[in-house]
């Protein structure tokens, strides 16, 4: 049983109070592989990846689901093999990520390429390898991809990343679907009245008028919105004399007309224009990260279904796939909320089914890109404790519960913001435990800090640790499997720690530790 639910499934505490991973003590791992150390429970990665794939398939039981592991969370050849063997595709965004996945033997048809500024070389490699999707991020990209595909004599499978206008995820830097940021193409025209999309919350049942709506278009000059006229292939069959559409259908038509005038639909048309070399796979929406429930996903999904409906109404093309991106949350500290996957995916599936039924559209393939959910709880960073410094505080200091604090113990470890930038970048919360012994039952309020030249070099802002914590102890910080190693840096010329895979079978190095020789090798001028 895990140390607590936020720790890897293969972790435990033995009779001596030491933390173990599949029976190996934290101390023995540090002795064998060095400190600091990223430990990944690869059995747990396999279990979680399989769980997400199965949960998605179960929830969306009336359609096909695709799940891509967001490689930005943690990438190595071994991780690529584990997640693809578990049924996932892999989402990449740089040449480095693409090359690692390909080197692992993952075929292009199981790879996705994202990026707001893809290089020609990246696009070329994705087309040559037959990537499952290249996700278009800006209006000029379809022409660029088309030209490269033509030159290579191949057809590229592309999707459009759409900013739905739904905000989600804690920190501004991880919310990605509002307009004023760098990703994607907006669903709605500038200044559009987004409240017209509220009609999506009232759609309950398909009406003949709704399902057969077509949007006509008059000649326009570029940049002007078209004069559109709602048309129907059939009238209400229930009342042949009825010439008017219902209030609900009229509101839906208004929403569709607004979407039809938006930048996203224009780019879909542009992709479609290049259909000799571009296969339009669908639309993509990523709304943010560490999201606890399905509410915002439901809102974004409904908007994607409306865009799909509108494209059908204007161009008679049914987009085969809607990718809802990543962002499924995990708990970083004990007691914190995390997404209940089965419950929330079931809610999402039900909303998607309802909206498509009401729109008279067939279910698309639904895709997901969970990074953090798949790997964050499978990872623990182990550090060696160095300086332990109690700092006396003035009367105004408080802990996070609001209690007055007179002393805080600064526990310095041999890593820091170079191996986990998330607390400094996003203010993320973590917890920590002594891993090499039980420690005294008396605890002290501690702040775990790194060894870098920044006072913001904090790993755990506030945690109660045994009062007898001392130099040489092993400190374990759980839930570091995602965005630890992949966001690591050489700040202060720190050496990026090794990643060690621990499973029932063995413990081995997955990504080797950097050495001072690496630093000197990169430094080539004399």
321 binds ligand PLP (CB under 6 A): no
371 binds ligand PLP (CB under 6 A): yes
Tell me how crowded residue 254 is: count the other CB atoms within 10 A of its CB: 15
Which secondary-structure segment (H or E) carries 320?
none
Distance, in Å, from the CA atom of 459 to the CA atom of 447, rounded to the nearest integer, reads: 8
Tell me how crowded residue 490 is: count the other CB atoms within 10 A of its CB: 13
Distance, in Å, from the CA atom of 169 to the CA atom of 290, rounded to the nearest integer, reads: 6
The pairing of beta strand 37-41 with beta strand 24-25: unpaired
Of 184, 327, 377, 450, the one binding ligand PLP by CB under 6 A: 327
Which secondary-structure segment (H or E) carries 372?
helix 372-375
Of 30, 70, 267, 280, the one binding ligand PLP by CB under 6 A: 70
478 binds ligand PLP (CB under 6 A): no
Distance, in Å, from the CA atom of 42 to the CA atom of 85, rounded to the nearest integer, reads: 12
- Of 312 and 373, the one with the shorter C-beta distance to ligand PLP is 373
Q: Site mask, ligand PLP, residues 222-261, x = CB under 6 A?
A: ----------------------------------------
Instruction: Check the annotation: does 370 bind a ligand.
Output: yes
289 binds ligand PLP (CB under 6 A): yes
79 binds ligand PLP (CB under 6 A): no
Using the rule CB under 6 A, give the single segment among 31-39, 137-145, 321-329, 408-416 that binds ligand PLP: 321-329
- Of 56 and 463, the one with the shorter C-beta distance to ligand PLP is 56
Instruction: Tokens for 422, please give them.
Output: 């998330």
Of 3, 45, 67, 73, the one binding ligand PLP by CB under 6 A: 73
Contact 446, 383 (CB under 8 A): no
Phi-psi region of 52 (alpha: psi -120 to 50; beta: other; left: phi over 0): alpha
Instruction: Check the annotation: does 422 bind a ligand.
Output: yes
Distance, in Å, from the CA atom of 52 to the CA atom of 378, rounded to the nearest integer, reads: 14
Instruction: Check the annotation: does 332 bind a ligand.
Output: no
Residue 181 C-beta: closest distance to ligand PLP, Å: 11
Q: Rounded to an integer, what is the distance from CA 351 to the centroid of its chain?
A: 21
Of 27, 138, 369, 473, the one binding ligand PLP by CB under 6 A: 369
328 binds ligand PLP (CB under 6 A): yes
Of 286, 308, 422, 433, the one binding ligand PLP by CB under 6 A: 286
Active-site residue (options: 80, 93, 446, 453):
453
Distance, in Å, from the CA atom of 526 to the CA atom of 515, rounded to the nearest integer, reads: 20
Q: Is 446 a catalytic residue?
A: no
184 binds ligand PLP (CB under 6 A): no
332 binds ligand PLP (CB under 6 A): no
> How many residues bind to ligand PLP according to rule CB under 6 A?
17
Q: Rounded to an integer, what is the distance from CA 352 to the centroid of its chain?
A: 20
Helix pair angle (341-359, 295-315), 10° resolution: 30
Contact 436, 405 (CB under 8 A): no
Residue 438 C-beta: closest distance to ligand PLP, Å: 34
Using the rule CB under 6 A, give the single segment among 11-19, 115-123, 124-132, 365-373 that binds ligand PLP: 365-373
Which secondary-structure segment (H or E) carries 446?
strand 443-449
- Of 72 and 485, the one with the shorter C-beta distance to ligand PLP is 72
Closest CA to 510 of 38, 97, 151: 38
Contact 474, 434 (CB under 8 A): yes
The pairing of beta strand 433-434 with beta strand 474-478: antiparallel
Closest CA to 5 of 333, 445, 341: 333
115 binds ligand PLP (CB under 6 A): no
Residue 102 C-beta: closest distance to ligand PLP, Å: 19
Distance, in Å, from the CA atom of 301 to the CA atom of 170, rounded to the nearest integer, reads: 19
Of 372, 408, 433, 513, the one binding ligand PLP by CB under 6 A: 372
Instruction: Check the annotation: does 426 bind a ligand.
Output: yes
Using the rule CB under 6 A, give the single segment among 94-102, 120-128, 252-260, 323-331 that binds ligand PLP: 323-331
326 binds ligand PLP (CB under 6 A): yes
Using the rule CB under 6 A, give the single segment among 297-305, 367-375, 394-402, 507-515 that binds ligand PLP: 367-375
Instruction: Tokens for 430, please give them.
Output: 């973590």
- 336: β partners: none
Instruction: Check the annotation: does 327 bind a ligand.
Output: yes
User: Which residues are catalytic, by number?
Assistant: 453
Interface contacts to ligand PLP, rule CB under 6 A: 70, 72-73, 91, 114, 286, 289, 325-328, 369-373, 482
Residue ranges for the known binding site for substrate are: 372, 422, 426, 454, 483
């Amino acid at each position: 049983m895990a140390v607590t639910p936020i720790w890897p499934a293969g972790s435990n505490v033995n009779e001596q109070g030491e933390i173990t991973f599949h029976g190996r003590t934290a101390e023995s791992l540090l002795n064998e592989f060095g400190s600091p150390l990223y430990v990944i429970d690869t059995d747990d990665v396999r279990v979680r990846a399989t769980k997400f794939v199965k949960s998605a398939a179960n929830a969306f039981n009336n359609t096909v689901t695709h799940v891509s592991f967001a490689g930005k969370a943690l990438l190595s050849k071994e991780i690529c093999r584990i997640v693809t063997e578990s049924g996932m595709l892999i989402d990449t965004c740089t040449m480095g990520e693409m090359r690692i996945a390909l080197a692992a033997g993952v075929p292009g048809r199981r790879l996705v390429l994202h990026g707001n500024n893809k290089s020609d070389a990246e696009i070329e490699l994705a087309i040559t390898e037959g990537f499952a999707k290249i996700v278009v991020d800006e209006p000029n990209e379809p022409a660029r991809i088309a030209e490269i595909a033509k030159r290579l004599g191949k057809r590229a499978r592309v999707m459009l990343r759409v900013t739905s206008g739904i905000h989600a995820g804690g920190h501004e830097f991880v919310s990605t679907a509002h307009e004023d940021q760098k990703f994607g193409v907006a669903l709605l025209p500038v200044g559009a009245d987004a409240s017209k999309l509220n009609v999506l919350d009232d759609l309950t049942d398909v009406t003949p008028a709704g399902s057969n709506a077509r949007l006509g278009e008059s000649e326009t000059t570029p940049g002007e919105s078209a004069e559109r006229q709602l048309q129907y292939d059939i009238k209400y069959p229930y009342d042949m004399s009825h010439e008017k559409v219902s209030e609900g259908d009229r509101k839906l038509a208004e929403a569709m007309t607004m979407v039809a005038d938006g930048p996203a639909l224009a780019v879909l048309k542009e992709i479609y224009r290049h259909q000799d070399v571009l296969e339009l796979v669908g639309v993509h929406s990523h709304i943010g990260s560490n999201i606890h429930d399905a509410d915002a996903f439901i809102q974004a999904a409904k908007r994607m279904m409306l865009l799909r409906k509108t494209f059908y109404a204007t161009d008679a093309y049914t987009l085969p796939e809607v990718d809802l991106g990543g962002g499924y949350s995990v708990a970083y500290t004990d007691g914190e909320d995390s997404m209940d996957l089965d419950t929330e995916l079931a809610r999402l599936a039900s909303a998607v089914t309802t909206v498509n039924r009401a729109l008279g559209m067939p279910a698309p393939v639904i895709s997901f890109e969970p990074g953090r959910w798949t790997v964050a709880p499978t990872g623990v960073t182990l550090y060696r404790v160095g300086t332990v410094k109690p700092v006396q505080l003035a009367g105004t200091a408080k802990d996070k519960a609001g209690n007055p604090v007179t002393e805080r113990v600064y526990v310095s470890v041999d890593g820091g913001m170079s191996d986990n930038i998330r607390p400094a970048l996003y203010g993320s919360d973590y917890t920590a435990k002594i891993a090499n012994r039980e420690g005294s039952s008396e605890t002290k309020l501690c702040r775990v800090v790194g060894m870098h030249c920044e006072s913001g070099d904090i790993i755990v802002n506030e945690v109660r640790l045994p009062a007898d914590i001392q130099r040489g102890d092993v400190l374990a910080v759980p839930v570091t499997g995602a965005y630890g190693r992949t966001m690591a840096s050489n700040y202060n010329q720190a050496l990026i720690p090794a990643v060690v895979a621990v499973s029932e079978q063995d413990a081995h190095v997955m990504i080797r530790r950097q050495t001072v020789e690496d630093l000197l090798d990169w430094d080539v001028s004399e």
